[in-house]
Structure 1
Amino acid sequence: MPMDLEQAQAFLSERFVDVRDVVPVTAGAWSTPYFFDARIDGVQRALVARFGPHRDDFVKDALASGWTTPELPVPRAYALLRAGDDYGAVTERLSGSFLEELDTDGWFHALPRVFAVIDQLRQVPLRTELPAYVAVDDGLDIGLDETQLGLGVSWHDWLIDLSDEPDERGGGWSGTLAASPTGDRSFREGMELLATLSEGLEPPRSFVHCDLLNRNVTIADDGSALRAVFDWGCLFAGDYLYDVAWLEFWAPWHAGLAGLDVRAAARAHFGPTDPAIDAFEERMRLCAIHIGLCHLAYNAYVGNPDEIAACDRRMAQYDGRMDAPI
């Protein structure tokens, strides 16, 4: 049962000093957020608390907060909490406009800044120790499953691990997908293609945000800099081009981004520093197919047949069913 406003006020007031202005925010897919102010280290700060059943999402947010730089502005995580049967996290609250609100000109100027985020992630050591400044409730296990994160397994093995696990988050989608007029066949054939294309391919690995849209990145109102990169729940260690393919795959859903050639811009930007740039096209295709497969499953899970069909049409531009340029 999600925590309501009265419960959130009481919970936060027990744990923080001078809590003020607790305000509910539109809930995300996996958590319920609240804006509030409180005094930490003697300073009144603008904060956001999120509550939900998925501990690892919050732990990943805390992990990523240790990577913040001017080019990668991750909100500072202050606390990881146990909230009854659920979990919580309290992080810095940063303002800004969402990338999705940009027009084509705005995206043209923002895209190099998004690429700079990816460059910064390429420099982060593949470790899972949290920053020492994050307060953790007594008894709360903050260990991450490194195999689930993609650490210690090959790129091929991580990519093809797309089975339906009904007892896990997002599980139970296979029956709905099987009843889809297009999605099930695309999924089965896509999995076969994914296994073939990824065999023997092991690109440089780094942390991947895997959700740089969906209102997870904000930019200053004047477009001068990114303000925040948050919601790290999909974080994994893989090919950095996955974040590029994410932008390209979903571009038709965002009018401003759709006007740009993301692939050409990425190749020009990353080419000089990527030792595996010769396989750029193959890697981009592989990442895009995996994104499509994941979202056929996800849209089956949430029961959205229109998005299954739309995702299937987009996949057709990558898996060989449609002879059309990306």
Structure 2
Amino acid sequence: MKTRFSIPEIGRFLRDAYGPFLHLSQLEEGDDSQAFSASVDGRDVVVRAASTRDGFDKDRLVASRWPTTLAPIVLDILPIGDGWACISEKAPGRTLQSLGTATREIAPAVCAMMDVIAASDISPVTGYGPFSAQGKAGFSSWRDFILSIEGPPQWLALLEAFDYGAPHGLVHGDFGSNNVLVADGRISAVLDWSEAMTGDPAYDLANLFFWRPWLDCMEAQCSYIEVNEPYRSADAARLLRYQLRIGLQIRAEAQADADTRLVEWATHRCATIAAALSGPQEQRLRPPRLTEGHDPSIVSRNPGERSRSDARHRIIAPLLRRDRAALARQGRSGPAPRGCPHRIRIGAAGLRR
């Protein structure tokens, strides 16, 4: 359960732990944590509060073991009430999401940052997939992680029909948007390493492409890559499968949160990606954009696209009916998502999940 600490409670915590402090204010919240900023001993810090410390320990691991990733330094992890507080250095800058389409100006630096993360030496970490704060991942192969997701059989079959090889690099797991800060024309910090894993670094690139219809900053970054660094997206069959895997994960998490709007959006997005995997080569290279309010039953003027749209609708309709029925049985309909969807954390100047 998410913590609900007030500013006075955080103030008392800081006074007990560090003595006098200045400029305490609350930052916009993430999915699983609260965040506050303050000045302690002349240092600007971010205080995050959550019910568990697992994500905080992982942030500390990444910041200490891979400093080139620009993960903010974790100063302390301390108990607070029934939860935990993580005190970290406050990074300067604005998020990519706040830049919107202006992200294209910083796009080369974002690509370079992905290369830095991918080049990190992860030899101390064992296994594949998400790893713990002790450096242990839970899967024996990258393929095992990719296939460890539930979904419609026809979509899972697309994931199974590919040789993923044995890539073993550092993956942020939720790269882009509010997890990247920019200051003075450079990347100043990469936030929220709670989803970090070992595997194929191209998974972070796929995350950008998956969310491009939802966020202007993601669309700007992807458009830059397609025009200026197209080699990054050349392996369309791999990237589309990673996008499908991401979409199935988002869909499952949205179902657990009873977020019906995001369930439907993720289902539409997965259907579009699956259709691209089954379509002609030019379709696989750049799948059609799917806007937030897209209705997959709308027919296109193009007869070929109409048949694909009809096919997607035949797949989507029963899935949506099943999802709505399951949520109705729980007596929940879920809130409409705000500006940023389920896994894209809202964060400003150090706010984390």
- Distance in 2 (alpha carbons) for counterparts of 1:211 and 1:265: 23
Indicate the residue corresponding to 1:62 in structure 2: 60
Cα deviation for residue 298 of structure 1 reads: 1.4
Asked if residue 304 in structure 1 is aligned to residue 259 in structure 2, the reply is yes
Cα deviation for residue 232 of structure 1 reads: 1.1
The structure 2 residue matched to 1:288, chosen from 234, 243, 258, is 243
Unaligned 5+ residue runs, structure 1? 130-141, 164-185, 272-276
- Distance in 2 (alpha carbons) for counterparts of 1:74 and 1:316: 34
The structure 2 residue matched to 1:232, chosen from 193, 200, 218, is 193
Indicate the residue corresponding to 1:25 in structure 2: 27
Please tell me whether the aligned partners of residues 289 and 318 of structure 1 are also in contact (alpha carbons under 8 angstroms): yes
- Distance in 2 (alpha carbons) for counterparts of 1:206 and 1:18: 43
Indicate the residue corresponding to 1:166 in structure 2: none
Amino acid in the other structure paired with 1:264: E
Cα deviation for residue 247 of structure 1 reads: 0.4
- Distance in 1 (alpha carbons) for counterparts of 2:79 and 2:201: 33
| Distance change (3 Å), C-alpha of 1:128 and 1:46 | farther
Deviation track 1:15-49 (CA, whole Å, cap 9, x = no partner) reads 2243222222222101111111112xxxx100001
Cα deviation for residue 60 of structure 1 reads: 1.5
Cα deviation for residue 288 of structure 1 reads: 0.7
Asked if residue 243 in structure 1 is aligned to residue 194 in structure 2, the reply is no
Cα deviation for residue 68 of structure 1 reads: 2.8
Any idea what SS the aligned residue of 1:252 has?
coil
Unaligned 5+ residue runs, structure 2? 127-131, 288-353
Asked if residue 314 in structure 1 is aligned to residue 269 in structure 2, the reply is yes
Asked if residue 108 in structure 1 is aligned to residue 104 in structure 2, the reply is yes
Indicate the residue corresponding to 2:301 in structure 1: none
Matches within 5 A, 1:148-297: 148=138, 153-162=140-149, 187-197=152-162, 200-220=163-183, 224-259=185-220, 260-261=222-223, 264=226, 268=230, 270=232, 280-297=235-252
- Distance in 2 (alpha carbons) for counterparts of 1:282 and 1:54: 38
Deviation track 1:217-253 (CA, whole Å, cap 9, x = no partner) reads 1112x5x111221111111112101110000110111
Deviation track 1:94-132 (CA, whole Å, cap 9, x = no partner) reads 22221113343x222322212222111122222369xxx
Instruction: Normalising by structure 1, report the TM-score.
Output: 0.74
Please tell me whether the aligned partners of residues 115 and 266 of structure 1 are also in contact (alpha carbons under 8 angstroms): no
Please tell me whether the aligned partners of residues 191 and 293 of structure 1 are also in contact (alpha carbons under 8 angstroms): no
Cα deviation for residue 267 of structure 1 reads: 5.8
| Distance change (3 Å), C-alpha of 1:297 and 1:36 | same
Identity %: 23
- Distance in 2 (alpha carbons) for counterparts of 1:209 and 1:293: 18
Please tell me whether the aligned partners of residues 176 and 218 of structure 2 are also in contact (alpha carbons under 8 angstroms): no
Cα deviation for residue 312 of structure 1 reads: 1.7
Amino acid in the other structure paired with 2:119: Q
Matches within 5 A, 1:62-141: 62-66=60-64, 67-69=66-68, 72-104=69-101, 106-126=102-122, 127=124
Cα deviation for residue 257 of structure 1 reads: 3.5
Please tell me whether the aligned partners of residues 285 and 318 of structure 1 are also in contact (alpha carbons under 8 angstroms): yes
User: How many pairs were matched up?
Assistant: 271
- Give the CA RMSD over aligned residues: 2.7
Please tell me whether the aligned partners of residues 56 and 194 of structure 2 are also in contact (alpha carbons under 8 angstroms): yes
Any idea what SS the aligned residue of 2:212 has?
helix
Please tell me whether the aligned partners of residues 26 and 35 of structure 2 are also in contact (alpha carbons under 8 angstroms): yes
Any idea what SS the aligned residue of 2:35 has?
strand
Deviation track 1:125-163 (CA, whole Å, cap 9, x = no partner) reads 22369xxxxxxxxxxxx9447234x5xx20111122236
Any idea what SS the aligned residue of 1:317 has?
helix
Please tell me whether the aligned partners of residues 58 and 133 of structure 2 are also in contact (alpha carbons under 8 angstroms): no
Please tell me whether the aligned partners of residues 30 and 54 of structure 1 are also in contact (alpha carbons under 8 angstroms): no
Indicate the residue corresponding to 1:10 in structure 2: 12
Any idea what SS the aligned residue of 2:272 has?
coil
Asked if residue 147 in structure 1 is aligned to residue 137 in structure 2, the reply is yes
Please tell me whether the aligned partners of residues 217 and 230 of structure 1 are also in contact (alpha carbons under 8 angstroms): yes
Give the structure with the higher percent helix.
Answer: 2
